[in-house]
């Protein structure tokens, strides 16, 4: 693979979870650590790409030569990605919350005194960042991730087609050794012709370098 093909290209990468506020002290989120997205940003910078990394709240140092934009919510992540456009390639490794509370309570929610009442939270759909950017006239080469706990290849393929992607990276997060907050990963990359390529278990750093090489080859194929 000729990773030099990405030299000077602008690559936008999303990483980490999003936080959807319920009130000033509580939020809805998930277990993404950002490790996969940060490893991709590092690997892309290593091959000379200009990298913008838009990340949710994570505890990771910024890789060298990477421009980092920190956000909290899915709506913030979409706005930061739109502000970073145009880009040549988009790699969406973030675990974006699909829903957010309809309204953020201005003050800490209080329990109803003297009762054992539960709490009903009304949630609304968040914008889909990847599908939004993939539908733009200045559409980049789009690589999505699919975190699944069952029917990995079928669900990932549906996301590839529904979101009009060039590639999707299927990640079986039912296996704790290769999912959220793990050191390693093992993934299957699927293309629109539904050919799949498997990358067997290795550190997220190595998987990221293999993915960047694979993406570079596919991107080059489309742009010669």
145 is in an annotated binding site: yes
Q: Give per-residue burial for 82-91: e unless 16+ CB within 10 Å, then b.
A: eebeebbbbb
The one segment of 99-107, 134-142, 178-186, 205-213 that binds ligand PMT by CB under 6 A: 178-186
Residue 208, sorted as left (phi over 0), alpha (psi -120 to 50) or beta, turns out to be alpha
Residue in 181, 200, 220 with CA at minimum distance from that of residue 95: 181
Cis peptide before 86 (omega within 30 of 0): yes
210 binds ligand PMT (CB under 6 A): no
Does 171 qualify as catalytic in the annotation?
A: no
Pick 112 or 122: Cβ nearer ligand PMT: 122
User: Helix (H, G, I), strand (E, B), or coil: what is residue 101?
Assistant: strand
Q: How many CB atoms lie within 10 A of CB 113?
A: 5
Binding mask 20-59 for ligand PMT (x = CB under 6 A): ------------xxxxx-----------------------
At 73, list the tokens.
Answer: 């919510």
The binder of ligand PMT chosen from 128, 172, 211, 212 (CB under 6 A): 128
Min separation Cβ 73 and ligand PMT, Å: 11
The residue from 55, 87, 92, 207 that contacts ligand PMT (CB under 6 A) is 92
In whole angstroms, how close is the CB of 163 to ligand PMT at the nearest point? 6
40 token code pair: 């991709």
CB 38, CB 60: distance < 8 Å: yes
Task: Note the residues at the interface with ligand PMT (CB under 6 A).
Answer: 14, 16, 32-36, 74, 92-96, 98, 126, 128-130, 144-147, 159, 171, 173, 179-181
> Which residues are known catalytic residues?
30
């Amino acid at each position: 693979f000729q990773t030099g093909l990405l030299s000077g290209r602008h690559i936008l990468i999303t990483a980490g979870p999003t936080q959807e506020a319920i009130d000033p002290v509580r939020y809805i989120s998930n277990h993404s650590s950002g490790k996969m997205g940060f490893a991709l940003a590092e690997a892309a910078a290593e091959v000379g790409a200009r990298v913008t990394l838009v990340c949710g709240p994570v505890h990771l140092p910024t890789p060298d030569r990477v421009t980092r934009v920190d956000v909290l919510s899915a709506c913030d992540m979409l706005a930061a990605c739109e502000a970073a456009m145009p880009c040549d390639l988009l790699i969406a490794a973030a675990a974006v919350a699909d829903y957010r509370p309809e309204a953020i309570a201005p003050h800490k929610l209080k329990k109803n005194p003297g009762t054992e009442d539960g709490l009903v939270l009304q949630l609304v759909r968040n914008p889909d960042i990847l599908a939004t950017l993939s539908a733009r006239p200045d559409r980049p080469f789009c690589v999505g991730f699919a975190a699944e706990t069952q029917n990995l290849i079928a669900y990932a393929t549906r996301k590839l087609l529904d979101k009009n992607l060039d590639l999707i990276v299927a990640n079986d997060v039912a296996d704790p050794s290769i999912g959220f907050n793990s050191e390693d990963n093992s993934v299957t990359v699927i293309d629109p012709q539904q050919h799949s390529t498997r990358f067997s278990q290795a550190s997220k750093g190595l998987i990221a370098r293999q993915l960047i090489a694979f993406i570079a080859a596919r991107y080059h194929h489309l742009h010669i």
